[in-house]
């Protein structure tokens, strides 16, 4: 027993139940649970499952009910694991889709900026050979104001 801490603490808990019963406490089991938590006996478990422990100790043991509870807890545990897994997979898929969309937008923006830079370079070449503004606008589809800025850059 001393090599298994949980078993040793369970025996200590049962001793508290007997102590409470012998002392004539009105709520024997409730007092034993509170005292066990106070003395750090099965503390984590009793803090999480104290209500269930109280309920189990106050009712007759029923194997079928116990198995039904275990089955439901297993289902809930599996559900939570499934939700967490699904959430993680969804997050990864969302990141992947987001990256792909970001790359597509980046490529589109890059193409637009490249096309615009190409129009500016074409306009500069046309200016250098002396073509009129209207002809440059017709060939490049740039606004006249942009073409005039290329001809006479702002100081």
Q: Which two tokens stand for residue 121?
A: 């370079």
Token pair listed for 100: 């792909």
- pLDDT at 84 (0 to 100): 67
pLDDT in tens, 65-87: 667 777 777 766 676 666 667 67
What are 27-66's pLDDT values in tens digits?
A: 888 898 899 999 999 888 888 887 777 777 766 556 676 6
pLDDT value, residue 83: 65
Six token digits for residue 58: 């106050």
What is the band of 155 on the pLDDT scale with cuts at 50, 70, 90? low
Q: How far apart are CA 66 and CA 72, in angstroms?
A: 10
Number of H helices and E strands in the chain, helices first, is 6, 0
| 22 pLDDT tier (thresholds 50, 70, 90) | very high
Per-residue pLDDT for 147 more than 70?
A: yes
56, 37 contact by CB (below 8 A): no
Beta strands in the chain (DSSP E): none
- The pLDDT assigned to 107 comes to 86
User: Nearest 5 degrees, angle CA 66-CA 69-CA 73?
Assistant: 140
Rounded distance between C-alpha atoms, residue 18 and residue 61, angstroms: 19
Structure-token pair, residue 8: 């040793």
108-135 as b/e, with b when 16 or more CB fall inside 10 Å?
A: eeeeeeeeeeebbeebeebeeeeeebee
């Amino acid at each position: 027993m001393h090599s298994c801490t949980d078993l040793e603490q369970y025996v200590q808990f049962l001793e508290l139940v007997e102590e409470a019963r012998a002392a004539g406490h009105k709520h024997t089991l409730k007092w034993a649970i509170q005292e066990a938590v106070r003395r750090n006996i099965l503390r984590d478990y009793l803090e999480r499952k104290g209500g269930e422990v109280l309920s189990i100790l106050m009712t007759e043991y029923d194997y079928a009910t116990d198995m039904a509870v275990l089955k439901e807890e297993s289902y809930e545990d599996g559900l939570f694991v499934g939700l967490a897994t699904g959430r993680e997979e969804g997050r990864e898929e969302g990141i992947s889709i987001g990256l792909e969309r970001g790359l597509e937008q980046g490529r589109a923006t890059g193409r637009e900026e490249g096309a615009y830079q190409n129009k500016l370079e074409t306009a500069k070449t046309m200016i250098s050979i002396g073509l009129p503004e209207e002809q440059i606008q017709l060939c490049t589809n740039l606004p006249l104001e942009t073409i005039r800025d290329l001809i006479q850059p702002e100081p």
